Each structure stands twice: as structure tokens, then as C-alpha cells.
Amino acid sequence: MKDIMIATGNPNKVREYREMLEPLGYKVHDLSEIEHIEVEETGDTFEANALIKAFSVNRSVNMMTIADDSGLEITCLNNEPGIHSARYLAGHDYAYKNRVLIERVRGAADRSARFVCAIALVEGEKKARTFVGVMEGEIAEEPRGNNGFGYDPIFLVPQYGMTSAQLTPEQKNSISHRGQATRALLAYLNEKNEETA
Ligand code: ITT
């Protein structure tokens, strides 16, 4: 069994990583197993912040560690909320944040948006890599769906004609930014295992 620590305080991310990694034989660990570590996301890119999170946690555990920094970029809002997605309109719930974003996009000719996910894999103090996934879509006219989390109810996935909150977990993972970054990570890990076999 290959052990992997998911360095995130977001239980929805943990769930999605479990859905994707456990069927492949990974033993998924999360932060509930270790003492709380305060991490400041001071980077100005998704990749930089993912590395900060993964390095901070890897120092306290004896297994490979991944963290992801992710967010929603809306073209007509200069790619906001972007790396500030979790902190955007802090103190308000996502039902409110999603309504505000729909209002801000109302009337825009270009409703395009994308979810971005950078995964950092850290295997030691100097051993790190990042993997990025992007899912392109549009901001919906109204929030729809109860699956997923965060901005999923307002993110329209063109190939399904549904928001990512209307997709099943399997459908979302098969196309999502996090799913794509995870598959790139897995390809790297498989290649590495073959080399050392
Ligand atoms: P950690 O830093 O502890 O991992 P976080 O939720 O603060 O948890 P981020 O800083 O990476 O993580 O912020 C990501 C935010 O982007 C997240 O809170 C959601 O608002 C949004 N987001 C990312 N992936 C998403 C997805 O698959 N569906 C909906 N919203 C997503």
C-alpha cells in the first residue's frame, strides 16, 4: 500500500482525492492525523502556494505529501477570484459568493471561466514537483446543482450542458482541473515506480 498525505484543510478536496486515489491502491492520509500547522499562502501563483502548503506539512510526516492550490478564474473579471478564490468575500457562504459573481458577470459578452488546480508533490526537503490541470467552462446564468462544493453551482461545463455541481463525482473527477492534475501526478508516480522496480 502506498501512503500519501493530502495536505489540505478543505474536506471536499480530501473527498475528491480519496475518490480518485483509493481505487488505485493508495492509502490516503489527511491532516486530522497530525497536529495543526498554520500555513500562510504568500505565493502569487497557484503553483507557489501549493508548494508552500505541501512543504510545510511534509516536514511533519514520513510519507509523500500532496497539496493543491486551486481556484476559479473568470475572464471578464480579470481572472478574479483566481488565487484568492477561498478568501473571496470572506465570511460569506458560497450561496452568497456565487450570487455576487453571477451579478458581476451579468450582461458580459464573454462569460468564459476556468477552474485551475496546481498539485505540489513533495517527497523530501529538496524534492518537489508540480502538476497543473485546467477545466474550461462558463459562468451560468443561475446557480444549479447540489454536488461538488464551492463555485461548482455556477460553473457551466459545456460538454454536459450542466454545472459541475450537477455532475456525479465520477463525471466531475473525469474532466475536472483536479482530476487532470491528479492523472498527471499518477503518470509521474507510475513512471517512477517502473524505474525503481
Ligand atoms: P487548502 O488551502 O487547505 O487546501 P482551501 O479551500 O483554502 O483549502 P485553496 O486556497 O486552494 O484551498 O482555495 C481553493 C478554492 O477554490 C476553494 O475553497 C473553492 O472556493 C475554489 N475551488 C477549487 N476547486 C474547486 C472545485 O473543484 N469546485 C468548486 N470550487 C473550487
Residue-range domains of the chain with CATH: 2-196 (3.90.950.10)
* The C-alpha cell that represents 151 in the structure block: 463555485
pLDDT at residue 128, as a whole number: 98
pLDDT at 148 over 80: yes
pLDDT at 82 over 90: yes
What's the chain's length in residues?
A: 197
Q: Is 157:163 a contact under the CB 8 Å cutoff? A: yes
Closest CA to 69 of 16, 7, 18: 7
Backbone angles phi, psi at 42, to 5 degrees: -95, 0
- Ligand 1 atom at minimum distance from 176 CA: 27
Q: What is the four-CA torsion angle of 180, 171, 146, 158, rounded to 10 degrees? A: 80
pLDDT at residue 129, as a whole number: 98
152 lines ligand 1 (CB under 6 A): yes
User: What's the pLDDT tens digit per position in 6-26?
Assistant: 999 999 999 999 999 999 999
pLDDT at residue 153, as a whole number: 98
pLDDT at residue 121, as a whole number: 98
Distance (Å) from CA 195 to ligand 1 centroid: 34
Q: Which amino acid is at 108?
A: A
DSSP secondary structure string for all residues of 71-115: EEEEGGGTTEEGGGTTTTTTTS-HHHHHHHHHHHHTT-S--EEEE
pLDDT at residue 192, as a whole number: 87
Closest CA to 52 of 70, 75, 69, 72: 69
pTM, to two decimals: 0.97
How are beta strands 127-139 and 112-124 bridged, if at all? Answer: antiparallel
